[in-house]
Amino acid sequence: MNITIVDYKSGNISSVINSFKEVAKDKVTIEVTSNLNKIKSSDKVVLPGQGSFKSCVDALNKIKGLTDTLNDFAINYKKPLLGICVGLQMFADVGYEETETKGLGWISGKVSKINNQNGNYKLPHIGWNQINIVKDSKIFKDIENNSHMYFVHSYEFLPNDKKVVSATTDYSSNIVCSVEKENIFGTQFHPEKSDKLGLKIIDNFISL
Amino acid sequence: MLKNRIIPCLDVKNGRVVKGINFVDLKDAGDPVEQAKIYSDGGADEICFLDITASNENRDTIYDVVEKTSKKCFVPLTVGGGVRSVDDINKLLNCGADKVSMNTAAVENPGVVIDSSKKFGSQCIVVAIDAKKNGDKWEVFTHGGRKNSGFDALEYAKQMEKNGAGELLVTSMDRDGTQVGYDIDLMSKISSKVNIPVIASGGVGNLDHMVDGIKLGKASAVLAASIFHYGKYSVKEAKDYLDSKGIPVRI
């Protein structure tokens, strides 16, 4: 099996690469590339994302054919794809960070700033928070409810169809922190920085 | 519920830990990777490396340390010390650092904070503020505490938030190394002034100091060096104690 981590020159993806390589060991090949043919021929794709919604979408669009290739991979061929942080947020129709920006539109909804309740909640939401698993998700196999995961974000994904939500976390409100829609998976938290439990989630995705 | 973080900090010089855990069973007490791994296995919420390498020709040693550590530790890694430019930040992030902290550079060249937070996102930009009390205010010092910038720490903190810092690492120079506790007044004033998380540093000598730093100082995270290094407390003991005092921690 081979898994591609999409390197679209936005933000820092070394931690994602390190964690996948750690879990994959020799059983799975991990490619880090934006080469369209390599993405097409992979079994699974990881879409990381750091920085702003707009900067990530802009970076994706800068690589000719990448959005179409990812769309084919996830929507037409229905192969497993995992979005992390802004990688998940980009599943939405639209994001409002910096300016209104069109997302990939794979899961209907929008990405808005977390309501900090007049400064009562610091933003970014940085640190370890517990996840409330609301739906059986394949990537949560052997992950207990209320497990701690590492978060760092100021914006949240608000999907229209709540059935896609697999976990939430409590910070000012119940923030969507994991989604599963058929073959599309996403985590708002960083499994690559969430210690052993995070690596377990990566292992679950690899083992799908 | 979001947990308060405990962050052990390791001083690294020429690629070696100079102030680290003093365990007898350590194979190589100077190996930053081994020390970081002990902390992350022990429940540290993040690891911080402070590079205190003095000479320029050995500056690159930190990149190697970060690269090796990030392949073994899967909790966030913050690296600071001697970071001058967007390019320095880029190199550290590429080696596997999750956040980079800046002190002198942020004072001398605010553009570095603005540009790097735009380029890499605020989430990985930490501004370290070394503050020293002068009358009824605190002044920001640079160059490892040797140079007074004259800036008021509270105003400066607010400005750094505006410039794009994702977190502030606030060290009381009056308390650093004294083990008499964080400067609670300083921490709570800065924390109330800004809407980004504050990490308290400088002066922790026992676990009650950590409790105070969070409860009274309103810090989101507490950073400590010596109390962990010399085996006075383990990270787990610290967390259990904080938990017993009603502070939310990841256990």
- Tell me the pLDDT tens digit for each residue of A130-167: 999 999 999 999 999 999 999 999 999 999 999 999 99
Helices assigned H by DSSP within B121-181? 153-163
CA atoms B142, B148, B151, B154: torsion sign? positive
From chain B, the residues in CB contact with A122 under 8 A are 195-197, 220
Name the β-bridge partners of A45.
A4, A81
CA atoms B199, B202, B207, B212: torsion sign? negative
Question: pTM of this prediction?
Answer: 0.95
From chain B, the residues in CB contact with A19 under 8 A are 74
- pLDDT tier for residue A106 given thresholds of 50, 70 and 90: very high
Cis geometry, peptide bond prior to residue A124 (ω within 30 degrees of 0): yes
Nearest CB among B5, B94, B123 relative to A50 is that of B123
**What residues of chain B, 6 to 35, have a C-beta less than 8 Å from chain A?**
none
Nearest CB among A148, A150, A171 relative to B76 is that of A150
Instruction: Say whether B95 and A195 touch across the interface (CB within 8 A).
Output: no
pLDDT digits (tens, 9 = 90+) for A57-79: 999 999 999 999 999 999 999 99
Residues 6 or more apart in contact with residue A189 via CB below 8 angstroms: A85, A129, A131, A149, A150, A151, A169, A177, A178, A198
**What residues of chain A, 26 to 85, have a C-beta less than 8 Å from chain B?**
50-52, 55
pLDDT at site B27: 59
Q: Is B76 on the interface with A (CB under 8 A)?
A: yes
SS3 for B195? coil
Q: Which residue of A has its CA nearest to B76?
A: A193
Instruction: Say whether B1 and A170 touch across the interface (CB within 8 A).
Output: yes
Per the prediction, chain A carries an average pLDDT of 96
From chain B, the residues in CB contact with A59 under 8 A are none
pLDDT at site B56: 75
Distance from CA of A65 to the nearest CA of B (A): 23
Distance from CA of B146 to the nearest CA of A (A): 31
Work out whether strand A44-47 and strand A81-84 pair parallel, antiparallel, or are unpaired.
parallel
**A185 to A83, A148, B125: CA distances (angstroms):** 6, 19, 28
**Tokens of residue B39, six digits:** 């902390």
Work out whether strand B137-142 and strand B147-152 pair parallel, antiparallel, or are unpaired.
antiparallel
Q: Is A173 on the interface with B (CB under 8 A)?
A: no
From chain B, the residues in CB contact with A198 under 8 A are 74
Residues 6 or more apart in contact with residue B60 via CB below 8 angstroms: none
pLDDT at site B140: 98
Q: Which residues of A are catalytic?
A: 85, 190, 192
Distance from CA of A137 to the nearest CA of B (A): 22
pLDDT at site B55: 73
Q: Under a CB-based contact definition with an 8 Å cutoff, are residues B212 and B180 in contact?
A: no
Q: What angle do CA A104, A110, A115 make, to 5 degrees?
A: 145
- The residue written with tokens 């002044």 in the block is B139
Q: Is B214 on the interface with A (CB under 8 A)?
A: no
Q: Which amino acid type is present at position B64? A: D
pLDDT at site B19: 63
Residue A91 has pLDDT above 80, yes or no: yes
Which of B4, B38, B74, B124 to probe the A interface (max A CBs under 10 A)? B74
Q: Which residue of A has its CA nearest to B193?
A: A119
Which of B1, B2, B77, B161 to probe the A interface (max A CBs under 10 A)? B2
Per-residue pLDDT of chain B (251 residues; tens, 9 = 90+): 999 999 999 999 899 988 655 555 555 668 899 999 999 999 999 999 999 887 777 888 999 999 999 999 999 999 999 999 999 999 999 999 999 999 999 999 999 999 999 888 899 999 999 999 999 999 999 998 899 999 999 999 999 999 999 999 999 999 998 899 999 999 999 999 999 999 999 999 999 999 999 999 999 999 998 888 877 899 999 999 999 999 999 99
Q: Can you tell me the ipTM of this complex? A: 0.93
CA B241 to chain centre: 21
